[in-house]
Amino acid sequence: MIAEAGLAALWLGAALCALQLVAAVLSLSARVERSRDTFDTAPGGTSLDFARDERGLSGLIRPVAVAQAVLTALAFACLIAVFITVDLSVKLVVENDGVGRPLMYRFSGTWGNHEGSMLMWVSILAVGGAAVALIERRLEERTLIATLGGQAVIGLGFYAFLLFASNPFARLDPAAPAGQGLNPLLEDPGLAFHPPTLYIGYVGLSIAFSFAIGALVTRDVRPAFARAMRPWVLGAWIFLTIGITAGSYWAYYELGWGGWWFWDPVENASLMPWLAATALLHSVTVLATRDGLRAWTVMLAVVAFSMSMIGTFLVRSGILTSVHAFAVDPRRGSFLLALLILYIGGALALFALRVGTVREGSRFDVVSREGALVINNLLLSVILGIVLIGTLYPLVVEAFGDKISVGPPYFNATAGPLALLLLIVMAAGPMMRWRREQLGIIARRLIVPALVLIVALVAVKALHPAIGLWPLLGLAVAAGVGLASLAPLWGRNLRRTPLHTWGMVIAHFGIAVALAGMASDSAFTQERLVAARVGETMAIGPYRVTLANIAPDFGPGWTALNATLAVKRGAGAAYELHPLARTYWTQGTQTSETAIQTVLDGQLYTVLGASAGEGRWQVRLWWKPFVTLIWAGGALVAIGGVLSLLGRLLRERRNELRKAEVWA
Amino acid sequence: MLSVPLYADSTMPAAQLANVQLPDPAQEAKAKALMETLRCLVCQGQSIADSNADLAGDMRSLVRQRIAAGESPEAIRAFLIARYGDWVSFAPPIDRTTWLLWAAPVLFLVAGGALVAGRLRRRR
């Protein structure tokens, strides 16, 4: 019953989405007619008819967008309900859920699969559209209507995908006796937070995409448009930042080998929208503040959401497992691919048609804040291009019958140096004035950070002669850039510094912090892989770790070996860590539950592997100095984004109030 | 002796050096760096340095044994490529099929740079 209600709500949502599109198209064309009428001095009657018609339809758009979101969210709630109640007559539940699983995993298992996650995607898309309809007041009415129309176009395609190619509510007759359970790797609190945040970010970029479409349709690419778009981009970017940071930490502790980024296609799929959104965030600021980079900003808005869709396609079409698997069962993949080509192609075609009407923005010198932001955009775009081609190239080669792998050696060698360069631009950019800056002044401002960079370089090399070139450069650049990123606060009254300046400073500082963590991890990590007997003591970093005991353990759906590791640092008190080696009954899958001790200067990362025979156990230990800075940096970047968003919104609110006072 | 079975039998004990480091830290560092760039053939996108699969363990053991025997990392990579194809290496070679992949970053940078430079010059 609940499943049918969900499916019905989804169909109704799709129908309202179609209505939203029709209303947008009609009211926009009515407006074009009317503006012609006023020039042609047509008989009053017709003109009035059009006016009435248009008010009716454009008045319809906002409530329809909201109703669509309510219905689709309802459909998603129904899916959550059948998962929580473990309705074994629903196919998706049988494949991904089970009686007796903890409530949290029955809940988050709703989106731990293909159909459920696509329904979540569409729900977020609909809710995003409703948010624009409810909140957005700055955008010119025509552009807003076009934007909601654009949102409806995207929505329709994905509703069709759900309803025709991946119905989450499909029944199973007769019902299954038991569920197969969730993939054990997904049975983790991370699943409850990571996909929703990432999806809000992905799909949030659809709003920027629709804004760009709207502005192209109505030829309204102006600073006011950019100021309206900026908070939406910033919001999506914050969620992407949190999603990627959290996902990296999740992979780090879940996979049990101490790695935190693998340049895996699925990771790249989330990194690409982030890179595009970061570029967009900076170019939209140029457009909002200085009325420059008009066409480029619109282009980036199209590219950013295109990257979200490409990511969704890569992850959801099955093409990553194998191009051939994709070719054997191509229904879903081809559907997504068709949507991808339709939307990206359509948007680019519209861009090509209208770009001529986008007037050139205002001018600026090469050495200026705008100039630095242009270089920022160039480098981010090139890095994005590298990640994109590195991710897609193996697929193309495989389609021609060859098989290659593109992994860390390629991405580190090509994107790494550009990223370091980008960070240096990031340090210098905020020190520059808009429009024109003197090179000498900037050079003088950069002297202290440059000295810090060089001192760090020499000092680290002296203390650790064996350090590799890239980690060394990474640490040095992190030190110099970290200091330079604080420069915009230098000599200012900190209480009167605007919130969005704080946001920028904290986000830039966070990037330097994350870089320090990455470099420190790759330079100073120590590894100890041992086949240990109970009672044996191992030395790792500043720690002495004793395998005190191995005992059986169990939990919902799994049995495990539970190791007791007695850990002692220097003369400090001993404490215990408990890494587990789990085996899940239903699938027979084995996972390692790491035990991690976080201290100020790093993490002790411990894993219990299988038996090594002869009464020995595989124990894996890592001492990772300052590795936590990676995610702390990511968190700072997100916090900076939040402050910036708050600052912009509060300032706008203040300005409105002030304006109201003046008029009163 | 040094051969790698394509699918290791999981009932057999893990290969000798699958989960234990080489005694010489310099050799182990070399082996580790190589292992991080070799694909675990039965996993999804993981390197043999961070995989629980038995095959990955066997390949780790092979890498450590050959490094200990004094072979160079690139020779071991070439051996594995000869055996399993280019797919086993995360470092794509530069050849007829992959030249574009390696040229792309430079092309992007040059094209983007030219675009920006052209725009900025026109502005002045």
Half-sphere exposure of B76 (CA within 13 A, CB side): 26
Q: Alpha helix locations (H) across A437-576?
A: 439-463, 469-485, 499-524
Q: Give the mean pLDDT of A425-438.
A: 89
Cβ pair A382:B88 closer than 8 A: no
Give the residue on A whose Cα is nearest the Cα of B43. A321
How many of the other CB atoms lie within 10 Å of CB of A579? 24
Residues B87 and B103 in one domain: no
Dihedral sign for Cα atoms in the order A214, A219, A221, A222:
negative
Among chain B residues, the shortest Cα distance to A532 is held by B20
Please provide residue A540's backbone torsions phi and psi, each rounded to the nearest 5 degrees: -145, 125
Taking the Cβ of residue B114 and every Cβ of chain A, the question of whether any pair is shorter than 8 Å is answered with no
Percentage of chain A exceeding pLDDT 70: 94
Strand partners, A625: A602
pLDDT at A323: 62
> Span A325-337, mean pLDDT?
74
Q: Is B87 close to A400, i.e. CB distance below 8 A? A: no
Give the model's pLDDT for residue B7.
42
CB A255 to CB B50 under 8 A?
Answer: yes
* Domains: count for chain B: 2
With cut-offs at 50, 70 and 90, classify the pLDDT of residue A35.
low
User: What ipTM, to 2 d.p.?
Assistant: 0.88
B43 and B68 part of one domain? yes
- CA–CA separation, A86 and A97 (whole Å): 7
- Name the burial class of residue B54, with classes exposed (0-12), middle (13-18) and buried (19+) by CB atoms within 10 angstroms of its CB: buried
**Averaged over A88-93, what is the pLDDT?**
92
Tell me if the bond preceding A174 is cis, omega within 30° of 0: yes
B87 and B115 inside one domain: no
Q: Is A224 exposed, middle or buried (0-12, 13-18, 19+ CB in 10 A)?
A: middle
State whether B6 and B48 are in the same domain. Answer: yes
A chain contacts of residue B39, beta-carbon cutoff 8 Å: 405, 407
> Which residue of B47, B91, B113 is in closest CB contact with A410?
B91
- B14/A612 touch (CB, cutoff 8 Å), yes or no: yes
Do B117 and B85 reside in the same domain of the chain?
A: no
The DSSP result for A400-452, as a single string, is TT------HHHHHHHHHHHHHHHHHHHHHGGGSPSS---HHHHHHHHHHHHHH
CATH number at residue B28: 1.10.8.640
> Least CA distance to B45: which residue of chain A?
A264
Are the CB atoms for A121 and A206 separated by under 8 Å? no
Residue of B nearest to A375 (CA): B116
| Contact call for A265 and B14, based on CB within 8 A | no
Is A386–B51 a contact, with Cβ atoms under 8 angstroms apart?
no
CA distance B65 to chain A (A): 16
Domain carrying residue B110: 93-124
For B10, nearest residue in chain A (alpha carbons): A610
User: Do the chains contact at A265 and B45, CB–CB below 8 Å?
Assistant: yes
Minimal Cα–Cα distance from A470 to chain B, Å?
Answer: 14
Higher pLDDT, A98 or A94: A94
pLDDT score of B100 more than 70 = yes
DSSP letter, residue A627: T
CA distance A375 to B1: 55
Please judge whether B104 and A386 are an interchain contact, meaning their C-beta atoms are less than 8 angstroms apart: yes
* DSSP secondary structure letters along A333-386: HHHHHHHHHHHHHHHHHHHHHHGGGS-------SSSHHHHHHHHHHHHHHHHHH
Average pLDDT over residues A378-390: 97
Nearest to A363 among B46, B51, B123 (CB): B123
Residue of A nearest to B51 (CA): A257
Higher model confidence: residue A361 or residue A436? A436
Please provide the average confidence, as pLDDT, over all residues in chain A: 89
Supply the pLDDT for residue B10: 43
Q: pLDDT tens digits, residue range A275-305?
A: 999 999 999 999 998 888 889 999 999 999 9
Residues B63 and B117 in one domain: no
B56 and B115 housed in the same domain: no
- Name chain B contacts of A418, Cβ cutoff 8 Å: 105, 109
For residues B65 and B122, membership in a common domain is answered with no
B-chain CB neighbours of A374 within 8 Å are 116, 120
A460 within 8 A of A472, measured Cβ to Cβ: yes
- Answer whether A402 sits within 8 Å of B20, measured CB to CB: no
Q: Does B97 touch chain A (CB under 8 A)?
A: yes
Tell me: do B13 and B41 sit in the same domain: yes
**What's the pLDDT score for residue A88?**
92
B123 reaches A (C-beta below 8 A): yes
Query: How much is the pLDDT for B8?
Result: 42
Res. A268 pLDDT band, cuts 50 70 90? very high
Q: Distance of CA A196 to CAs A106, A109, A268, Å?
A: 15, 12, 17
Residues of B in contact with A380 (CB under 8 A): none
Whether residue B2 sits in one domain with residue B18: yes
Full-model pTM? 0.92
* B105/A529 touch (CB, cutoff 8 Å), yes or no: no
Residue A563 in contact with residue A621, Cβ under 8 Å?
no
Note whether A409 contacts B37, CB cutoff 8 Å: yes
Together in a domain, B15 and B64: yes
pLDDT at A358: 76
Other residues' Cβ atoms within 10 Å of the Cβ of residue B16: 13
pLDDT score of A315: 85
Is the confidence at residue A44, as pLDDT, over 50?
no
Q: Closest chain B residue to A261 measured between Cα atoms? A: B46
A436 has pLDDT over 90: no
Which residues of chain A make contact with B37, given a CB cutoff of 8 A? 407-409
Residue of B42, B52, B86 to mutate, interface with A, max A Cβ within 10 Å = B52
What residues of B are in contact with residue A620 (Cβ under 8 Å)?
A: 19
Collect all residues of chain A within an 8 Å Cβ-Cβ radius of residue B91.
407, 409-410
Interfacial B residues in 50-79 facing A (CB < 8 Å): 50-52
Which chain A residue's Cα is nearest to B99? A393
Closest in A259, A320, A382 to B109, CB measured: A382
Which residue would you say has higher pLDDT here, A484 or A356? A484
Nearest neighbour of B108 by CB, restricted to A262, A364, A386? A386
Average pLDDT rounded to a whole number, residues A302-328: 80
- Residues A249-259 have a mean pLDDT of 90
Task: Report whether pLDDT(A74) > 50.
Answer: yes
Looking at the fold, whether B57 and B84 belong to one and the same domain comes out as yes
| A433: exposed, middle or buried (Cβ count in 10 Å: 0-12, 13-18, 19+) | middle
In this predicted structure, what is the pLDDT of residue A589? Answer: 80
Inform me whether the pLDDT recorded for A106 exceeds 80: yes
Kindly indicate the confidence band of residue A399, based on its pLDDT and cuts at 50, 70 and 90.
Answer: confident
To which H or E segment does residue A141 belong?
helix A141-160
Within A488-635, strands assigned E span 526-532, 537-540, 543-555, 558-569, 575-577, 580-584, 590-593, 595-599, 602-613, 616-625
- Alpha helices by DSSP H, chain B: 25-35, 54-68, 73-84, 99-123
Beta strand segments in A146-234, E: none
